[in-house]
Amino acid sequence: MSAVLRPGPQLLPMTTAHLDAVMAIENAAYAFPWTRGNFVDSLASGCVAQVLYDDGRMLGYLIAMNGVDEMHLLNITVAPPFQHQGNARHMLEALIATCRARRAQQLWLEVRETNLRAQAIYLKRGFVQVGVRKGYYPAPQGKRENALVMSLQLLPTRLGDR
């Protein structure tokens, strides 16, 4: 009996046809989810928007905004049943490759101060904390939570930098 190799998860461009599944994941993953309008606006504005599929199931998605010589990761989410399996790392690596292909010098993101699991992924990948946005995220009981601002240097900023 021969082994059949199955391709791993694949990133595909997000379209409006994906939004029902995206919203189901978003609502399952977050106490304060993005709205459908946030995703529609991201698609309309030309953001990098991708969905991660494996074996016919949507595992997660990402949204990143292009800037001048940089990219800003706005949302990277894995459906709760598929977390802790390397899916976020897979999407992050694909986004980093996209950034490099577009000659972005830096990749920026914000992460909740309490999201230690995501912070560990970013730190392991080489991101550094460069600031704090006070009260950036909504939190339970009308409170606000700080965001850590993190950045990954992708390309030299000047010809002499190596």
For helices 19-29 and 36-44, the axis angle rounded to 10 degrees is 130
> Quick check: helix, strand or coil at residue 146?
strand
Residue 160 has pLDDT above 70, yes or no: no
The domain over range 10-153 is classified in CATH as 3.30.470.20: no
Instruction: Check: CB of residue 123 under 8 Å from CB of residue 146.
Output: no
DSSP string covering 75-94, please? EEEE-GGGTTSSHHHHHHHH
Count of other CB atoms within 10 angstroms of residue 2? 4
**pLDDT band, residue 161 (cuts 50/70/90):** very low
Please give the pLDDT value at position 10.
95
- Phi and psi at residue 15, in whole multiples of 5°? -130, 170
Q: Which single residue is written with the structure tokens 């190799």? A: 5
pLDDT tens for 6-53 read 678 999 999 999 999 999 999 999 999 999 999 999 999 999 999 999
| Active site amino acids | 110, 122
**Domain layout of the chain by residue ranges:** 10-153
